[in-house]
């Protein structure tokens, strides 16, 4: 579980996050949603310590992440996996080498044990046999899956995903979403996902936080999305006139 | 943000403190160091040899011209070429060339990793990226660059021979006599001190430029240029300082 308290972040004079408090739960897919520029990536980077908050606290369980030394932060990071918006695969390494990198760096396992673990993770993301390909040789969706495999190879307790389905077609997006969700449940990971994809919201929104203008505009789960009368939320989820008509029709005939 | 010189200097010192910390896994650092040695050493050999050969050759011809028909014995040409290459030309020119070749390459490589979020990805895994990405480069450079400098000195002296003996400026015996006269091993020591200091300067300055790059491809190009320019300026400065200190 991760709890954040009154997080603020400014760049120079501009305040990007204006006091956010919320909780991300274990074994759940926690979504941070909002329009482009709402501050989702900044919040995620604060959570993993790539940025430091101007004020506020971040609790990993009982540990205040903001008061830790560099070494203590590194210790927590052993339990953290992150999927970057652009996948951030090391392009001079093969798929296998990418996934094996954390094992090489932090474990003393034998070559055989490492290969077994890599193959297990590749299998988990349905990419068995792609070991020797280079990141530039596989599609965007496959790069995301390699990214997921790499982020779970050390069995993290916390998983962060920055727009896991940006740039992917709707079908592939759903595959990625389902993958993240099943891994989360299976290993009881605290997963935080940034997204502006309404399919993800409706499919894997165990716990949703809507950011608007640097503030927390709404919190709830996917079932509460329809019942909410929060205008910002409705406007975000049902962005197009078409979806608005669809929603109104559905509400009228009582199907949701 | 507008950084002034002192802020850069402070950040550089802090950066160096993170670079020199205990490696997570020695074998990974070892592997990376070997790769870097190969890149710096083998990759730069041709250009270093070419330049050294030509400066040795030109020094000999020019000095012969200066002597003209004076009473200074001919074999002095060998002696002058030897000392000027060992003390000054080999370390300085080799490192200026390497700043252009290796330094810009390091800045671009690390800067690219920063921009493509590779560095962030490693940080999230718990890697001390400053140490893992930079330390192997520094160690490799401290081994390989002084070696390149000594090769450069040797080839420079050879260049002097090739430009003066076959062309009839002097006999082979005279040249050999020259390079064996008035030899002071302290000069070799100075050459290695210069080579080592320059190697440290050019790798750390270039890596620093790459590691803190922001923005896109234009900024990456600028960082790479700054790596070369600042390395060159600092090499010239340290060349002077070392000359003053070591000849006191
Ligand atoms: N390093 C930075 N320096 C200055 N401004 C930044 C920085 N990172 C993000 N911002 C600003 O913060 C706001 C939120 O950005 P971001 O979190 O990337 O949005 P998104 O919700 O699309 O991920 C943007 O207006 C952006 O310009
Ligand atoms: Mg973003």
Q: Do B164 and B60 form a contact (C-beta atoms < 8 A)?
A: yes
Nearest-atom index, ligand 1, CA of A40: 21
DSSP sequence for chain A: -EEEEEEEEEETTEEEEEEEEEEE-TTSEEEEE--TTSSHHHHHHHHHTSS--SEEEEEETTEEGGG--HHHHHHHHTTEEEE-TT----TTS-HHHHHHHHHHHH----HHHHHHHHHHHHHHTT-TT-TT--GGGS-HHHHHHHHHHHHHTT--SEEEEESTTTTS-HHHHHHHHHHHHHHHHHHT-EEEEEE--HHHHHHH-SEEEEEETTEEEEEE-HHHHHH---HHHHHHHT-SHHHHHHHHHHHHTT--
Residue B132 lies in a domain: yes
Residue B182 lies in a domain: yes
Nearest-atom index, ligand 1, CA of A51: 1
Structure tokens at A12: 């120079």
Where is average pLDDT lowest: A118-122, A228-232, B25-29, B85-89? A228-232
Q: Report the distance separating Cα A207 and Cα A211, nearest Å.
A: 13
Q: What integer pLDDT is reported at residue B168 of this predicted model?
A: 83
Structure tokens at B162: 């090739």
Residue A91 contacts B, CB cutoff 8 Å: yes
Mutation target vs A (from B32, B118, B124, B136; most A CBs, 10 A cutoff):
B124
Mean pLDDT across chain B: 93
CB contact under 8 A, A86 and B117: yes
Residue A202 contacts B, CB cutoff 8 Å: no
Structure tokens at A123: 């299998």
pLDDT tens digits, residue range B149-185?
999 999 999 999 999 989 888 888 989 999 888 989 9
Q: Smallest Cα–Cα separation from B209: which of B132, B101, B105?
A: B105
The mean pLDDT value for B15-38 works out to: 93
Residue A127, Cβ neighbours under 10 Å: how many? 20
Residue B20 lies in a domain: no
pLDDT tens digits, residue range A189-239?
999 999 988 888 888 999 999 999 999 999 999 888 878 888 888 888 888
Residue of A nearest to B122 (CA): A102
State how far residue A51 is from chain B, nearest Cα, in angstroms.
Answer: 11
Residue B57 lies in a domain: yes
Q: What integer pLDDT is reported at residue A227 of this predicted model?
A: 81
pLDDT tens digits, residue range A57-83?
999 999 999 999 888 898 899 899 999
Measure CB to CB from residue B126 to each of A50, A74, A86 and give the nearest one. A74
CB contact under 8 A, B28 and A105: yes
* Residues whose CB falls within 8 Å of the CB of residue B76, separated by 6 or more in sequence, listed in order: B63, B67, B178
Measure CB to CB from residue B118 to each of A75, A90, A160 and give the nearest one. A90
> Which residue's alpha carbon is at the smallest distance from atom 7 of ligand 1?
A11
* Residues whose CB falls within 8 Å of the CB of residue A244, separated by 6 or more in sequence, listed in order: A238
Q: Based on the structure, what is the number of domains in chain B?
A: 1
Query: Ligand 2 center to residue B237 CA distance, Å?
Result: 44
Residue B120 contacts A, CB cutoff 8 Å: yes
Distances (CA, A) of A255 to A73, A203, A226, A251, B89: 49, 17, 11, 6, 85
Which residue would you say has higher pLDDT here, A242 or B52?
A: B52
- Return the ∠ at Cα B244 (arms to B238 and B248), rounded to 5°: 150
pLDDT at B2 over 70: no
Residues of B with Cβ-Cβ distance to A75 under 8 angstroms: 126
CB contact under 8 A, A101 and B125: yes
- Residues of the domain holding B39: 28-247
State how far residue B40 is from chain A, nearest Cα, in angstroms.
Answer: 18
H or E segment at B193? helix B185-211
Q: Smallest Cα–Cα separation from B67: which of B79, B52, B51, B82?
A: B79
Question: Taken in order A196, A199, A201, A203, is the CA torsion positive or negative?
Answer: negative
- Rounded percentage of chain A residues whose pLDDT exceeds 70: 99
pLDDT level of residue B24 (50, 70, 90 thresholds): confident
Residue B177 lies in a domain: yes
Which residues, listed in sequence order, are joined to residue A195 by a DSSP beta bridge?
A: A33
Residue A88 contacts B, CB cutoff 8 Å: yes
pLDDT tens digits, residue range B98-149?
999 999 999 999 999 999 999 999 999 999 999 999 999 999 999 999 999 9
Residue A99 contacts B, CB cutoff 8 Å: no
Residue B207 lies in a domain: yes
Q: What is the DSSP letter of B87?
A: I
Mean pLDDT across chain A: 92
- ipTM of the shown complex: 0.89
Measure CB to CB from residue B121 to each of A74, A88, A105 and give the nearest one. A88
Q: What integer pLDDT is reported at residue A238 of this predicted model?
A: 83
pTM for this entry: 0.90
| B 57-116: CB under 8 A from A | 116
| B 1-60: CB under 8 A from A | 24-25, 28
For chain B, what is the radius of gyration of the CA atoms? 21
Residue B111 lies in a domain: yes
Q: Smallest Cα–Cα separation from B50: which of B104, B103, B101?
A: B101
Residue B196 contacts A, CB cutoff 8 Å: no
Residue B107 lies in a domain: yes
Q: Do B192 and B94 form a contact (C-beta atoms < 8 A)?
A: no
Q: What region, left, alpha or beta, does residue A132 occupy, with left being phi > 0 and alpha being psi -120 to 50 degrees?
A: alpha
CA contacts within 13 A on the Cβ side of B85? 32
Query: Ligand 1 center to residue A143 CA distance, Å?
Result: 24
pLDDT at B1 over 70: no
The mean pLDDT value for A7-35 works out to: 95
């Amino acid at each position: 579980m991760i709890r954040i308290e009154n997080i603020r972040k400014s760049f120079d004079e501009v305040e990007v996050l204006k006091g956010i408090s919320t909780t991300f739960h274990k074994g759940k897919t926690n979504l941070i949603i909002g329009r482009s520029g709402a501050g989702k990536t900044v919040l995620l980077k604060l959570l993993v310590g790539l940025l430091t908050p101007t004020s506020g606290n971040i609790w990993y369980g009982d540990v205040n992440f903001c008061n830790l030394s560099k070494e203590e932060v590194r210790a927590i990071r052993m339990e953290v996996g992150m999927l970057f918006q652009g996948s951030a695969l090391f392009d001079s390494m093969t798929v296998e080498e990418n996934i094996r990198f954390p094992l090489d760096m932090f474990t003393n396992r034998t070559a055989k044990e490492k290969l077994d673990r890599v193959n297990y993770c590749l299998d988990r993301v349905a990419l068995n046999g792609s070991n020797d390909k280079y990141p530039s040789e596989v599609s965007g969706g496959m790069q995301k899956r390699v990214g997921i495999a790499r982020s779970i190879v050390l069995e993290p307790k916390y998983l962060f995903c920055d727009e896991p389905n940006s740039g992917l077609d709707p079908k592939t997006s759903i595959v990625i979403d389902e993958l993240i969700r099943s891994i989360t449940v299976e290993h009881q990971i605290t997963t935080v996902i940034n997204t502006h994809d309404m399919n993800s919201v409706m499919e894997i929104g165990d716990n949703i936080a809507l950011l608007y203008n640097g503030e927390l505009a709404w919190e709830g789960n996917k079932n509460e999305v329809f019942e909410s009368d929060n205008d910002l939320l409705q406007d975000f989820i049902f962005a197009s006139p078409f979806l608005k008509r669809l929603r109104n029709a559905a509400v009228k005939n009582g199907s949701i | 943000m507008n950084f002034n010189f002192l802020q850069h200097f402070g950040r550089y010192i802090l950066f160096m403190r993170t670079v020199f910390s205990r490696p997570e896994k020695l074998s990974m650092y070892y592997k990376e160091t070997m790769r870097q040695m190969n890149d710096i050493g083998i990759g730069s050999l041709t250009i270093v040899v070419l330049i050294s050969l030509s400066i040795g050759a030109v020094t000999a011809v020019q000095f012969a011209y200066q002597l003209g028909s004076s009473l200074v014995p001919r074999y002095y040409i060998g002696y002058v070429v030897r000392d000027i290459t060992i003390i000054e030309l080999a370390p300085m020119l080799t490192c200026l060339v390497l700043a252009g070749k290796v330094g810009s390459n390091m800045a671009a490589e690390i800067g690219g990793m920063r921009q493509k979020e590779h560095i962030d990805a490693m940080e999230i895994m718990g890697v001390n990226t400053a140490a893992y990405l930079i330390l192997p480069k520094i160690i490799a450079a401290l081994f390989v660059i002084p070696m390149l400098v000594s090769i450069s000195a040797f080839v420079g002296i050879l260049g002097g021979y090739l430009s003066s003996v076959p062309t009839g400026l002097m006999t082979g015996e005279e040249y050999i006599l020259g390079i064996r006269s008035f030899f002071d091993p302290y000069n070799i020591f100075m050459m290695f001190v210069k080579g080592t200091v320059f190697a440290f300067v050019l790798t750390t300055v270039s890596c620093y430029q790459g590691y803190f790059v922001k923005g896109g491809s234009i900024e990456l190009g600028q960082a790479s240029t700054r790596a070369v320019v600042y390395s060159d300026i600092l090499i010239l400065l340290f060349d002077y300082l070392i000359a003053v200190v070591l000849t006191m």
